[in-house]
A and B are shown apart, each in its own frame.
Chain A
Amino acid sequence: MKKSSRIAFALSLMALATGCSSTVTAASHEKGTPVKVGLICLHDSSSTYDKNFIDSMKEAVTTLGRMVDGEAIIKTGVKEDNDAYNAAKDLVKQGCNVIFADSFGHEPFILKAAKEWPTVTFCHATGTQAKTAGVANFHNAFASIYEGRYLAGYAAGLKLARMVENNELVEKNLDKDGNIKLGYVGAFPYAEVVSGYTSWYLGVKAVVSNVVMNVTYTQSWYDFNAEKNGAHTLADWGAAIISQHADSMGAPGECEALGVPNVTYNVPTGEECPNTYLAYSKIDWAPYYEAVISAAHENDAIVGEVNNNFTGSLATGSVKFDCANEADKLILEGVKAELSAKTKRVFDCSTFTVKGKHLTSYTADVDDYGDFQPETEVIRTEGGITFFDESALRSAPYFDVRIDGITELN
């Protein structure tokens, strides 16, 4: 490392002497040589979301061993603006062949970088434009996390059933029609979050049918106080169980303080919240990292990718979940097997209604042309089940249906 930088510096002095100039050039990768990897994160490890990416990256680098050139260069605290492009540029300068970025708002800037350095592979998690952009070295990835959330919701449902049985619910936990109240702290009101809370809600509903849910948005992926206050508002309203899709410890911590059972995302909080932690689900990014890096190593296509989109699943090991109650684990394994075998679907149209009716047709904005116009029919019938076909046509979620029983507060 030291030596190479000295040589580079010496070369730069020579270039100065000879007066030649060039712009930042990307190192093209030679087949079979180690790959240099970079990762761009919105926050650092104090955010559960980014910690999940960073930990998975370390795991993947260890697994791949000699295929990777040293440690991955990780940049944290990269904002969703031109900083993301600058971070990518810096990683290209450091010689990275594969660059990952972890936040939705990074996408346009990573895409700009991908156009500029076509020999570098750019992979953007949660993004929507790879299918339509037509830039060969720009990729999107996500996982069918709605299945993980459904399972975590199912675990919450089992807990709720026990709470009903033991008469642990109080008057404020029920609405005027006798439905049990649930709460959800979401970040932003777009498909990724809507898909998440709907699948969680349907998971609970699969066990306890009379539930209603309130959702409150924080308008930020990481805002400790807003998440804490959100959880507090929901608990005050009477939510019997709370889950969240935002990245600080605000909501789980508040639930522990108030004694409301909580389902988490990205990291289990059993240690921090021993009395209220129920279950968690997360995307394990390691299988995707491994697929991309080994493809780059061999100068090959990424295995499992369609239209530059990679959707991890329970089967690829990309969707993980766990719960605190040992006895529930067996039941959940059974549900997981049904989901894997596709004899059960999370967004089975017979399990929910929209304005009192079951969905028979729905067009979603799957192909992102920046127009926000829905164009693709996403309701399918297979094996006798009519369902919303989430994450099949592109990796990022596109389920943005507002179903009955769920109320958005803001």
Chain B
Amino acid sequence: MLEKIKNKLGHFPFYVTKRMGFSKLKYWLIRAGGILLAFLLAGITCTLLKPGSFGLFFSEMIRGCFDFSDISSIIDLLVTFSILLLISTNLTPTFKMRFWNIGAEGQILMGCMGAAAMAKFMPRDMSNASVLIICLLTSMILSTIWSLVPAIFKAFFNTNETLFTLMLNYIASILSALAISQWIKSGSQSFGVLFNGVFPSILDNTGTLVVIISLVIFAGLFVYITKGKYGYEVSVLGESIDTARYIGINPKKVMIRTSLISGVVFGVIGFMIVCGIHQSFSPTIVGGQGFTGVLIAWLGHFNPMEIALFSFLSAVMQQGTTTAASAVNISSTQFSAICTGVFFFIIIACEFFSRYQIKMHHKEKVKEAKEI
């Protein structure tokens, strides 16, 4: 249909132009509207599946996230939030220098695999603390390899880092599946629960330490990005390689150093996911958070505070819809994933329509075309 109109007119009936003079207030109002709409749509979807559950959906959603009598669910929320926050913030420096690393998922997964291997195969009589240290070191090394290799190729051979990091995700995923099939003798492909290499419980939850570590590293990254020489070098490199060279920055060095730091942090994240959150391992353990992190970093315009906002909203959406779904007895665990997907879809749409606008070509010509 569109092709037909195009042939008749010589062009599509509409075109996209950049929007000019859009106030910051208006931009944020639209974003807020989009966020509200996403939550509303989740409620409507729930009501369509289970009639009459609209009010219950929201009260359960709030209970699932902000029930302060249940400290454990608050910590769970903070765990999801802080991991997302850390992943997105950690991607920011690489993105700022226009190194499009979309391999966070695989880089974290390699860290997870390293930690899991050590926690499983270190002798059982070894102290938990020493196993934890070995796990941490192994996961940092593996994640760093996964993050450095594409950076080295980009720096020396100008390889396309987007494809490279994307492909490494699949390799990491297949390697973990292979590892599990070798490690698990029962043939069930299920890793089971870790005996050793488990985070100590604070407030009856092993996740508390994950939150603390994440926030400390986040603070470090925040300083690294916004203040100091390194952050500046990264931004200049992102603007123009020639400018960077001109003022005496070595692009290769900066690229490799930035990827090295990001790899180390991804290693820590992988370590925390295995030893702190799951105490287990599977090829899908990262659960797409690496990709969500890319999305959040971009939606947050690489600004740590905006990133924090979207990480928090995403965590609320995930945990709230999970609790609400079981309260109204929606069986599928996919319900929460769908709601989160819709949430991001709407925010991206808001982003698009705030930056661009769709304009129609001359109206009569379109009318003519419709008569075809």
Residues of A in contact with B (beta carbons under 8 Å apart): 1-2, 5-6, 8-9, 11-16, 20-24, 41, 44, 71, 73-83, 87, 90-91, 93-94, 104-109, 111-112, 188-190, 219, 372
User: Is residue B188 within 8 Å, beta carbon to beta carbon, of the partner chain?
Assistant: yes
Name the distance in Å between B336's Cβ and chain A's nearest Cβ.
Answer: 10
Chain B residues within 8 Å of A82, by CB: 277-280, 282, 285
Check B280–A109 contact: CB distance below 8 A. Answer: yes
Check B193–A74 contact: CB distance below 8 A. Answer: no
Name the distance in Å between B194's Cβ and chain A's nearest Cβ.
Answer: 10
User: Is residue B357 within 8 Å, beta carbon to beta carbon, of the partner chain?
Assistant: no
Residue on A nearest B281 in the bound complex, by CB: A81
- 26 A-B Cβ contacts within 8 A? A2-B59, A6-B59, A8-B63, A9-B63, A9-B67, A12-B63, A12-B69, A16-B68, A21-B68, A22-B70, A22-B71, A23-B204, A23-B205, A71-B329, A73-B329, A76-B331, A76-B332, A76-B333, A79-B284, A87-B333, A93-B70, A104-B186, A105-B188, A112-B279, A188-B188, A190-B187
User: Is residue B189 within 8 Å, beta carbon to beta carbon, of the partner chain?
Assistant: yes
User: Is residue B327 within 8 Å, beta carbon to beta carbon, of the partner chain?
Assistant: yes
8 Å CB contact of A190 from B72, B73, B186, B323? B186
User: Is residue B214 within 8 Å, beta carbon to beta carbon, of the partner chain?
Assistant: no
User: Is residue B60 within 8 Å, beta carbon to beta carbon, of the partner chain?
Assistant: yes
8 Å CB contact of A81 from B60, B278, B323, B329? B278
Residue on A nearest B287 in the bound complex, by CB: A83
Check A83–B333 contact: CB distance below 8 A. Answer: yes
Alpha-carbon distance between A188 and B280 when the two chains are bound, in angstroms: 21
Alpha-carbon distance between A6 and B55 when the two chains are bound, in angstroms: 10
Contact (A16, B69) CB under 8 Å given A77-B333, A112-B193: yes
Tell me how many residue pairs across A and B have CB atoms closer than 8 Å: 124
Most central of A14, A94, A106, A189 by chain B CB within 10 Å: A94
Residue on B nearest A189 in the bound complex, by CB: B187
Chain B residues within 8 Å of A87, by CB: 333
Chain A residues within 8 Å of B282, by CB: 79-82
Alpha-carbon distance between A11 and B63 when the two chains are bound, in angstroms: 11
Residues of B in contact with A (beta carbons under 8 Å apart): 55-56, 59-60, 62-63, 66-73, 181, 185-193, 203-205, 277-282, 284-285, 322-323, 326-327, 329, 331-334
Name the distance in Å between B337's Cβ and chain A's nearest Cβ.
Answer: 9
Chain B residues within 8 Å of A189, by CB: 187
Check B187–A2 contact: CB distance below 8 A. Answer: no
Residue on A nearest B285 in the bound complex, by CB: A81
Alpha-carbon distance between A73 and B323 when the two chains are bound, in angstroms: 12
Check A5–B59 contact: CB distance below 8 A. Answer: yes
Check B69–A81 contact: CB distance below 8 A. Answer: no
Contact (A15, B72) CB under 8 Å given A23-B204, A189-B187: no
Name the distance in Å between A67's Cβ and chain B's nearest Cβ.
Answer: 18
Residue on A nearest B337 in the bound complex, by CB: A77
Check A77–B334 contact: CB distance below 8 A. Answer: yes
Name the distance in Å between A375's Cβ and chain B's nearest Cβ.
Answer: 15
5 residue pairs, one from A and one from B, having the closest CB atoms = A105-B190, A15-B69, A16-B68, A82-B278, A81-B282
Contact (A24, B326) CB under 8 Å given A9-B67, A112-B193, A372-B185: no
